[in-house]
Amino acid sequence: MADLNLLRELSLEGDTRIVMLVLDGLGGLPREPGGPTELEFARTPNLDRLAAESMLGLSIPIGNGLTPGSGPGHMALFGYDPVRFLIGRGVLEALGIGFALTPADLAARGNFCTVDAEMRITDRRAGRIPTATCAELVEKLRAIRLEGVEIFVEPVQDYRFALIFRGPGLSARLNETDPQKTGVPPLPVAAQAEEARRAAEIANRWIAAAREILKAERPANMVTLRGWATEPGLPRFDEVYKLKAQALAVYPMYKGLAMLVGMNVLQGLRRLEDQLEALRANWTSYDFFFIHYKYTDSRGEDGNFEAKAAEIEKVDAVIPQILALKPDVLIVTGDHSTPAAWKAHSWHPVPTLIHAPGRSRRNAVTGFGETECLKGVLGQFPAVDLMPMALAFAGRMAKFGA
Amino acid sequence: MADLNLLRELSLEGDTRIVMLVLDGLGGLPREPGGPTELEFARTPNLDRLAAESMLGLSIPIGNGLTPGSGPGHMALFGYDPVRFLIGRGVLEALGIGFALTPADLAARGNFCTVDAEMRITDRRAGRIPTATCAELVEKLRAIRLEGVEIFVEPVQDYRFALIFRGPGLSARLNETDPQKTGVPPLPVAAQAEEARRAAEIANRWIAAAREILKAERPANMVTLRGWATEPGLPRFDEVYKLKAQALAVYPMYKGLAMLVGMNVLQGLRRLEDQLEALRANWTSYDFFFIHYKYTDSRGEDGNFEAKAAEIEKVDAVIPQILALKPDVLIVTGDHSTPAAWKAHSWHPVPTLIHAPGRSRRNAVTGFGETECLKGVLGQFPAVDLMPMALAFAGRMAKFGA
């Protein structure tokens, strides 16, 4: 695995273009022993044809046996060690609703909960109140003002909201207030390091004010706060890779992750066609494009094998449009596997294809799928190696040492 | 990747012999999509026969996407992490001309350049003066004497020369004086750490004296100095691996690299036949032989696909002579790929063969080439693992742990 400092030293400016097409949760499992996976079941004539003239392999997002969340899965694709560059849940929650974080922000994930007269939690999710109720309560909580910090409260979904304190010197070294069980009161926020004393004080004052506002409500009459995190200050694509990168994503979370690594994020994209249209429109203005397709993961999480395969087919249909732009390097991969059989993310390696005309060795493969990828020239490799390979195949890496 | 301390602890004395045959820049690319590589195009009946009864795989010199120079490529083959044991350009330049470095040496690569009356560089390479002129100027620079150091100046090629200061306490933590552009004067040498103050002073005095000597010359009337480096003090083959190693190489650079790891370097070899003759003559005196063949890389750098294949065939022809000596382990590999299609080193994994009779699992392969190696029992593996495997297959590695 290449060190970022080494990549920073070796990466070169260039007039070549790289497209990274990420089918979220692409990897899968057979429905019955010996059967095809979702990708193998899907009719993908374009990807199959491309596979025969590309390099195939399987990328390992974090490590064998380790199932990545969306944050680590994408950090690995972006070339950043996902264990070292861990993104806190509070930050992911804020990114997921499109909140533009700044380096001065301390973010937490909030849950509305129910407490009894003795402040003991009776329901950690307040009966899973609907999102509309969540939004109404959040509106009330926005009245809270505290000296020295700007405060943002944003509804997320059901009983979940995002809380952001903005101000100087706010450390995330705080404990979570959710005791993870009922019958006991929420925990107070305590600083886990001297540097976090001020943040703890602010958090406790905010919680007290929130309780004041919520005490007459039913069932959501209290809050818990989890996943304290600050903006992670990640290395940027332009300074590490010398790439001018653009993200073409629909979902806020992935736009947010792209923003964290310094990509330009195009807003307002709703469908795959919008993403393709934007790719064409911006082709000469950027040299790296991250295209994110969410629904393969969504249908995998639903446990719907055929629907996931159908989503893969939709992406297959636009491959010729990408190839028409003649990218120097086209990567087709996923951030992790989401087998429909599991209805969840998994650690299984992810089918990956690198198309780099004139720079490839041949595979003896017949199409794009988990089993064929095993025969590919890329072998099984750490997902963080994708970026150095993309740069190398795009002619944008200097020789190491004389 | 095994740690050198672990290898030092586990390696055993033995009465077995290992041959590492390195075809420089062995790995290649197809001329046209789907076609054979240079190695696959070459007629190699001996290597193909050997492949069927050997273990095949592809070695990754540094990491996916990282293109090695000759130094890092060989460090990896010798089992030393090429990122950690980086050999400076000054040292490589000295090795390349066969200069015997000592631990007291500080080496730099020198360039003759042209400056105007205001000392601004007008040509960083002094019109690429011929090597003969370079040698004449170097002869003049040899007149420079400085107290406390011995000084060596050696012509290399065209406008390039090697400069070596020999004396106690000379640190390489110095900046390069080449500003990398014209219209500005060369930079003075500044110490980048306290320990380098004396070296900086000596370097600046030498440069001033050189300018005095050169000022009436045309076009080479000044010098720049780059790639400051000291002898890297590498672990030695005998103490890490308990191997008595001999290098059979023609080119000075590779003899120099072998010397750095403590191999005995046989001088005076000019042709492959000389190398084979020496192998036979020294067979009972050493237990590790590094045979280096340069011309596969040279023809790759030339962009001559067929000529590179022809060089591979020349090596193929001598394989029976090596096998006749019955080495316990024969490794056939390269230090990196040099596809003729690229006319340069590349990061593509290197076809590798380990022949260890009686100690191998079988491959289902039909010959020695990039595509067949993908099916080999060794898989794709870091090149630094070759030495521990060589020792293990030679029965020279103890069990780790009880």
Per-residue pLDDT tens for B332-380? 999 999 999 999 999 999 999 999 998 888 888 999 999 999 999 999 9
Q: Which two tokens stand for residue A219?
A: 């069932």
- Cross-chain Cβ contact A400/B67 below 8 Å: yes
pLDDT computed for residue A363 by the predictor: 85
Q: Where are the beta strands (DSSP E) in B334-376?
A: 350-355
Angle (nearest 5°) at CA A349 between A346 and A351: 115
* Chain B residues in contact with A356 (beta carbon < 8 A): none
Q: Considering only CA atoms, which of A86, A80, A78, A96 is closest in space to residue A333?
A: A78
Other beta carbons within 10 Å of B74 = 29
* Chain B residues in contact with A402 (beta carbon < 8 A): 69-71, 87, 89, 92-93, 227
Q: DSSP letter string over B111-144?
A: EEEEE-TT--EEETTGGG--HHHHHHHHHHHTT-
pLDDT computed for residue B362 by the predictor: 84
* Chain B residues in contact with A6 (beta carbon < 8 A): 66, 83
Mean pLDDT of A228-239: 95
B201: Cβ–Cβ under 8 A, 6 or more apart, which residues?
none
pLDDT computed for residue B162 by the predictor: 96
Please say whether the beta carbons of A17 and A327 come within 8 A. Answer: yes
* Chain B residues in contact with A373 (beta carbon < 8 A): none
* B6: amino acid identity, one letter: L
- Bridge partners (DSSP) listed for residue B150: B166
Instruction: Chain B: give the shortest CA distance to residue A8, in Å.
Output: 12
Q: How many CB pairs under 8 A join A and B?
A: 94
Q: Which of B26, B29, B31, B64 to mutate to test the interface with A (most CBs of A within 10 A)?
A: B64
Q: Which of A2, A53, A358 sits opposite B65 (nearest CB)?
A: A2
* Chain A residues in contact with B342 (beta carbon < 8 A): 359
Residue B1's pLDDT band, with cuts at 50, 70 and 90, is low
Q: Can you tell me which residue has the tokens 């639903």?
A: A302
- Could you give the ipTM of this predicted complex? 0.88
Q: Can you give the residue ranges of every domain in chain A?
A: 4-87+234-393, 92-230
Please say whether the beta carbons of A110 and A225 come within 8 A. Answer: yes
How far apart are alpha carbons B87 and B260 in whole angstroms?
10
CATH number, span B91-230:
3.30.70
For residue B374, what is the DSSP state? T
Instruction: Chain B: give the shortest CA distance to residue A292, in Å.
Output: 23
pLDDT computed for residue A3 by the predictor: 87
Q: Where are the beta strands (DSSP E) in B124-252?
A: 150-157, 160-166, 222-230, 245-248
State yes or no: pLDDT of B226 exceeds 80. yes
B342 to chain A: nearest residue by CA? A359
pLDDT computed for residue A271 by the predictor: 97
Interface of B with A (CB under 8 A): 29-30, 33-35, 37, 58, 62-72, 82-83, 86-87, 89, 92-93, 227, 341-342, 344-348, 370-371, 374, 379-380
Q: Which of A59, A361, A380 to mutate to test the interface with B (most CBs of B within 10 A)?
A: A361
* Chain B residues in contact with A56 (beta carbon < 8 A): none
pLDDT tens for A359-368 read 888 888 999 9
Any idea of the CA torsion for A162, A163, A169, A172, to the nearest 10 degrees?
-60
Q: Which of B34, B89, B379 sits opposite A362 (nearest CB)?
A: B34
pLDDT computed for residue B264 by the predictor: 96
Residue A195's pLDDT band, with cuts at 50, 70 and 90, is very high
Mean pLDDT of A172-177: 96
* Chain B residues in contact with A362 (beta carbon < 8 A): 30, 33-35, 371
How far apart are alpha carbons A140 and A156 in whole angstroms?
15
Mean pLDDT of B164-179: 95
- Cross-chain Cβ contact B65/A357 below 8 Å: no
Q: Which of B63, B72, B83 sits opposite A385 (nearest CB)?
A: B63
Instruction: Chain B: give the shortest CA distance to residue A240, in Å.
Output: 15
Least reliable range by pLDDT among A246-250, B86-90, B151-155, B167-171: B86-90
A391 to chain B: nearest residue by CA? B65
How far apart are alpha carbons A4 and B342 in whole angstroms?
26
Break chain B down into helix, strand, coil percent, rounded to 5. 35, 20, 45
Instruction: Chain B: give the shortest CA distance to residue A396, in Å.
Output: 10
pLDDT tens for B70-116 read 999 999 999 999 999 989 889 988 988 889 899 999 999 999 999 99
Question: Alpha-carbon torsion A270, A273, A276, A282, what sign?
Answer: negative
Q: Which of A6, A362, A363 to mutate to test the interface with B (most CBs of B within 10 A)?
A: A362
pLDDT tens for A57-83 read 999 999 999 999 999 999 999 999 999
Q: Considering only CA atoms, which of A21, A17, A28 is closest in space to residue A315?
A: A21
Please say whether the beta carbons of B351 and B334 come within 8 A. Answer: yes
The CATH number fitting domain A92-230, selected from 1.10.3470, 1.10.10, 3.30.70, 3.90.1200? 3.30.70
Residue B268's pLDDT band, with cuts at 50, 70 and 90, is very high
State yes or no: pLDDT of B235 exceeds 80. yes
Q: Which of B29, B35, B67 sits opposite A359 (nearest CB)?
A: B29
Residue A229's pLDDT band, with cuts at 50, 70 and 90, is very high
How far apart are alpha carbons A401 and B89 in whole angstroms?
8
Please say whether the beta carbons of B28 and B321 come within 8 A. Answer: no
Mean pLDDT of B217-240: 95
Other beta carbons within 10 Å of A94 = 28
Q: Considering only CA atoms, which of B104, B152, B161 is closest in space to residue B132?
A: B161
Q: DSSP letter string over B50-109?
A: HHHTSEEEEEESSSTTPPB-HHHHHHHHTTS-TTTSPPPHHHHHHHHTT----TTEEEEE
- Cross-chain Cβ contact B65/A391 below 8 Å: yes
pLDDT computed for residue A98 by the predictor: 87
How far apart are alpha carbons A325 and A345 in whole angstroms?
32
B32 to chain A: nearest residue by CA? A358
Residue A1's pLDDT band, with cuts at 50, 70 and 90, is low
Q: What is the pTM of this model?
A: 0.91
Mean pLDDT of chain B: 96
Mean pLDDT of B215-230: 96
A10 to chain B: nearest residue by CA? B66
Q: Is A55 helix (H, G, I), strand (E, B) or coil?
A: strand
- Cross-chain Cβ contact A400/B371 below 8 Å: no
Instruction: Chain B: give the shortest CA distance to residue A66, in Å.
Output: 21
State yes or no: pLDDT of A402 exceeds 90. no
Decide if domain B4-87+234-393 falls under CATH 3.40.50.11720: no
Mean pLDDT of B274-290: 98
- Cross-chain Cβ contact B371/A364 below 8 Å: yes
How far apart are alpha carbons B219 and A361 in whole angstroms?
46
Pure H helices in A98-176: 131-141
Angle (nearest 5°) at CA B75 between B235 and B262: 40
Q: Which of B63, B82, B342 sits opposite A401 (nearest CB)?
A: B82
